């Protein structure tokens, strides 16, 4: 159930006030610190609070407006390619313990909401959780970019059914948030290693540790090659 007050700003007796809904809907998607990954909005309030409420406090109805924002980021990341072939949104996997603790898989739920939003816009979009962890990883909180890359390298693999799910579809990695980009880069590596390179990636929000805003820096493209020059 949603709290009685707005999850974004605390406005009284409304789960999502008009101002916060507008802030989410009016954000302009664009490239993140990984140029091939686009985000719908910067990771600042009220978007930050909405994501936290959905992920950590079980505000499940927020999946709809957050998923719509994620769908816009998917279209931004793909550009004209969005309509060239059916889409398959591949959510970043959540640890089983985290899913049990939260009572839901927030990224999978957002991916499903984004796919429904894209279908309403006339695109053929589906969701498939094709990635899984191969080993435990340390808590990412407090780790720098290089430490996160070392922590995650080789931690993901692709499920055997991936080839069947991806037949004739463009794979797009999706997540709620991109910070250093290490998680998306590892997911892209795992897909590329299986011969299934992602076309792009999309998130609801993005943060840049240097500026606090969405920005660009050196990154890794979906096929695992170095690329993306500083803006």
DSSP assignment of the chain equals ---SS-TTT--TT-SS-HHHHHHHHH---EE-SSTTEEEEEES-TTHHHHHHHHHHS--GGGHHHHHHHHHHHHHHHHGGGGGTS-EEEEEPPPPHHHHHHHTS-HHHHHHHHHHHHHHHTT--EEE---EEESS-----TT--HHHHHHHHTT-EEE-TTHHHHHTT-EEEEEEEEESSSHHHHHHHHHHHHTT---SEEEEEEE--TTTSS----SEE-TTS-EE----
- Is the predicted pLDDT of residue 50 greater than 90, yes or no? yes
CA 85 to chain centre: 20
CB 72 within 8 A of CB 108: no
- Mean pLDDT over 75-100 rounds to 91
- CB 64: neighbour CB atoms within 10 A? 15
CA 157 to chain centre: 18
Report d(CA 88, CA 200) in Å as an integer.
Answer: 11
Report d(CA 113, CA 18) in Å as an integer.
Answer: 20
Tokens found for residue 152: 């995650």
Give pLDDT, residue 15. Answer: 85
Q: Which residue has the tokens 């610190």?
A: 33
Cut 0.75: pTM above it: yes
Closest CA to 92 of 197, 32, 182: 182
- Mean pLDDT over 201-218 rounds to 63
Q: Where does the pLDDT of residue 226 fall: very low under 50, low under 70, confident under 90, or very high at 90 and above? A: very low
Report d(CA 205, CA 31) in Å as an integer.
Answer: 11
Q: Where does the pLDDT of residue 218 fall: very low under 50, low under 70, confident under 90, or very high at 90 and above? A: very low
- Is the predicted pLDDT of residue 142 greater than 80, yes or no? no
- Is the predicted pLDDT of residue 228 greater than 60, yes or no? no
Q: Which residue has the higher pLDDT, 151 or 99?
A: 99
- Mean pLDDT over 37-59 rounds to 95
Q: Where does the pLDDT of residue 213 fall: very low under 50, low under 70, confident under 90, or very high at 90 and above? A: very low
Q: Which residue has the higher pLDDT, 88 or 160?
A: 88
Mean pLDDT of the chain: 85
Give pLDDT, residue 208. Answer: 66
Q: Where does the pLDDT of residue 221 fall: very low under 50, low under 70, confident under 90, or very high at 90 and above? A: very low
Give pLDDT, residue 128. Answer: 94
* End-to-end C-alpha distance for the chain, whole angstroms: 42
Give pLDDT, residue 222. Answer: 52
Cis status, amide bond into 46, omega within 30 of 0: yes
Give pLDDT, residue 84. Answer: 86
pLDDT in tens, 198-209: 989 999 999 864
% of residues, the chain, pLDDT over 70 = 87
- Mean pLDDT over 93-107 rounds to 87
- Mean pLDDT over 130-144 rounds to 79
């Amino acid at each position: 159930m949603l709290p009685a007050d707005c999850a974004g700003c605390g406005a009284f007796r409304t789960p999502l006030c008009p101002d916060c809904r507008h802030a989410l809907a009016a954000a302009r998607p664009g490239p993140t610190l990984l140029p091939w990954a686009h985000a719908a909005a910067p990771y600042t309030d009220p978007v930050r609070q909405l994501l936290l409420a959905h992920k950590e406090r079980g505000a499940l109805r927020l999946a709809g407006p957050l998923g719509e924002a994620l769908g816009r980021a998917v279209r931004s990341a793909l550009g004209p390619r969005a309509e060239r072939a059916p889409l398959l949104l591949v959510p970043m996997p959540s640890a089983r313990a985290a899913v049990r603790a939260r009572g839901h898989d927030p990224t999978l739920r957002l991916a499903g909401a984004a796919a429904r939003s894209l279908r309403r816009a006339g695109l053929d979009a589906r969701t498939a959780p094709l990635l899984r962890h191969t080993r435990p990883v340390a808590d990412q909180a407090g780790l720098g970019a290089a430490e996160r890359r070392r922590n995650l390298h080789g931690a993901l693999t692709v499920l055997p059914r991936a080839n069947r799910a991806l037949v004739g579809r463009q794979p797009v990695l999706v997540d709620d948030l991109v910070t250093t980009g290490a998680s998306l880069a590892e997911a892209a590596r795992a897909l590329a290693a299986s011969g299934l390179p992602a076309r792009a990636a999309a998130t609801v929000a993005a943060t840049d540790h240097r500026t606090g805003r969405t920005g660009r820096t050196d990154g890794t493209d979906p096929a695992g090659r170095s690329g993306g020059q500083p803006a």
